[in-house]
Amino acid sequence: MSRTFFLICWIVFLALGSADILRAQTVYNCGAPENREKPTIVEVVLSKKWKDRVEEVKRSFTEGRESMKVRVKIFPFLDPPANMGIGKCVSAEEARLAIREAIAYNRGIERLIMQDILPHHWIKIGSTDLAEISWIPVSPEDLARLSDPALSTDQFQDLYRRLATMKEKKLPFGMGSEKREESR
């Protein structure tokens, strides 16, 4: 019986499934018509001192920009992490605004979040919902390079991806790390 059941399941799988269905879609086109109009979601985690000024923080992101939606969370302890993540479909203008606001409202930016694990149209500031292994240290000089208004969106995104890439492979169980070879 189990052998027959397995054979029937295999035949149904082959009949219904094809190579196109089994292959995961790995390319996301930010410029596609269905993706172009998606709003940028900004998720900001703030310290308790901003609790009474949440609307002011939201306005600083959305003033003159209807394409940005802001979600504010209050960190229950002293200060949230000084990290930031920028999705691959966020424009350079929106990202530079977020960098300025993260510096103003969240003590600065010390780490960038790896882009591969972020939603495409999201900006995360002070995020605590992603593993610390995905936070890559960033220098003030590199942050200044990201803030350069001369960068186009493609140039900005390329620089962000390079800066938010792991420089060394972390070994399990506290065994240290080893340098990764440069891929570019």
Q: What is the pLDDT of residue 164?
A: 93
Q: Does residue 79 fall inside a structural domain?
A: yes
Q: Enter the tokens of residue 37.
A: 């109009």
Predicted pLDDT at 19: 47
Residue 92 CA to residue 160 CA, distance in Å, equals: 10
41 occurs within a structural domain:
yes
Q: Rounded to whole angstroms, what are the CA distances from 125 to 41, 46, 150?
A: 11, 8, 23
Flag whether 48 is in a domain.
yes
Query: In this structure, what token pair is assigned to residue 80?
Result: 């949230």
Kind of pairing between the strands at 122-125 and 83-86: antiparallel
169: β partners: 178
**Number of domains comprising the chain:** 1
Range of the domain at 158: 32-168
10 falls within a domain:
no
| pLDDT at 58 (0 to 100) | 92
- Phi and psi of 43, rounded to 5°? -110, 115
- Per the domain annotation, does 7 fall within a domain? no
Q: Is residue 96 part of a domain?
A: yes
| Contact (Cβ atoms closer than 8 angstroms) between residue 51 and residue 74 | yes
Q: Has residue 62 been placed in a domain?
A: yes
- Is residue 184 assigned to a domain? no
In the block, which residue shows the tokens 């590199």? 142
Residue pLDDT tens, the chain, 184 long: 567 766 676 666 555 554 445 455 568 888 888 888 899 999 999 999 999 999 999 999 988 777 899 999 999 888 899 999 999 999 999 999 999 999 999 889 999 999 999 999 999 999 988 888 889 999 999 999 999 999 999 999 999 999 999 877 766 666 766 666 655 4
